[in-house]
Amino acid sequence: MKISNKQKNTDSEIFGIIGDPVSHSLSPAMHNKAFKKLKISASYLLFHVKPQQLKTFFKEAKSKQIRGFNVTVPHKEKCIPFLRTLSPEARHIGAVNTVLLKNGEWHGHNTDGRGYLKSLETEMRIQLKNKHIVLLGAGGAARAVLYVVAQKKPRHISVINRTLDKAVELTEEFSKKFPHTHFEALPFEPEAFALAFPDAHLLINTTSLGLKGTRLQLPLSKLPPYTIVSDLVYRPLKTALLKKAEKLKLKTHTGIGMLLYQGALAFELWTHRKAPIPEMKKALLDAL
């Protein structure tokens, strides 16, 4: 990983995203459009950083006009030792997606969860209090989503995961943090879907599947007619899961809003300016 002179414009600040791989990221389109709209002299670049280059990246970045960056797979947890502080969200989620340089030190935040919630509330106008949420997956994305949805005091959260132990660990940890909600861990099996689906208000897919690659058919017809089906996968925008839900006339929520709002929250942390949401959204949709 080298931060080349070609990428730099000496007058402007640099932001970007580190990941491996990173070339598929839609974040440059969204952030560069926002900088342009607000006439901020800054650029958002892609930094392909391999795991063994992470330490060097943190060392070099300060002297290269980099003021902040997003973090994606596989560095969301591995970057924590290089940070001076973690926001409470990043600490509870155990992962960082946004890094900010302040007083010469790196500080870690996580805007993924709040970005998801903002998207869900803005687009679907759902109140989560006293509702039953069914979450598919128990990985990093599930943790971020769980941390924000649990704060809304749902009645019940079922975490369904292929590796049951991971769902058990996650629900045990979150039951302690959020005692007002009943958490249950279930295996990714037909019996679990049959148990959880008939009472669900919101079904969230946090696995990277978008339904493709699952050997199991999710019995969406068991969901009540008012259930919102939400998929964190945004490529394609309408995943197989969402298409199937639409056919059953269920309300659907795509993953693009989470990408948009996590980016908007990061932008606001870096610039202290209100993120231009419509322009960022258009840039994302054009880039998809």
Does residue 214 bind ligand ATR (CB under 6 A)?
yes
Cβ neighbour number for residue 64 with a 10 Å cutoff: 14
Which CB sits closer to ligand ATR, 29 or 138? 138
CA 104 to chain centre: 27
**37, 48, 162, 244: residue in contact with ligand ATR (rule CB under 6 A):** 162
Q: Do 133 and 113 touch, CB atoms closer than 8 A? A: no
Q: What is the CA radius of gyration of the chain?
A: 19
Q: How many CA within 13 A on the CB side of residue 225?
A: 1
**Nearest distance, CB of residue 39 and ligand ATR, angstroms:** 35
Does residue 120 bind ligand ATR (CB under 6 A)?
no
Which CB sits closer to ligand ATR, 185 or 209? 209
In sequence order, the β-bridge partners of residue 42 are 13
Catalytic residue among 76, 118, 152, 281: 76
Does residue 259 bind ligand ATR (CB under 6 A)?
no
- Pairing relation of β-strands 98-102 and 66-71? antiparallel
**Nearest distance, CB of residue 87 and ligand ATR, angstroms:** 18
Does residue 241 bind ligand ATR (CB under 6 A)?
no
Active site residue 281: no
Does residue 250 bind ligand ATR (CB under 6 A)?
no
Per CB under 6 A, which region of 103-111, 127-135, 140-148, 220-228 contacts ligand ATR? 140-148
Cα–Cα distance for residue pair 177/147, rounded to 1 Å? 9
**213, 249, 272, 278: residue in contact with ligand ATR (rule CB under 6 A):** 213
- 99 closest CA partner among 19, 32, 216: 19
Does residue 168 bind ligand ATR (CB under 6 A)?
no
Three-class secondary structure assignment of 101-153: EECCEEEEECCHHHHHHHHHHHHHCCCCCCCEEEEECCCHHHHHHHHHHHCCC
**Nearest distance, CB of residue 19 and ligand ATR, angstroms:** 12
Using CB under 6 A, count the residues that bind ligand ATR.
17
Does residue 163 bind ligand ATR (CB under 6 A)?
yes
For 187, which DSSP code? E
**Nearest distance, CB of residue 95 and ligand ATR, angstroms:** 8
Active-site positions read 76
Q: Which residues bind ligand ATR (CB under 6 A)?
A: 137-142, 161-163, 166, 188, 206-209, 213-214
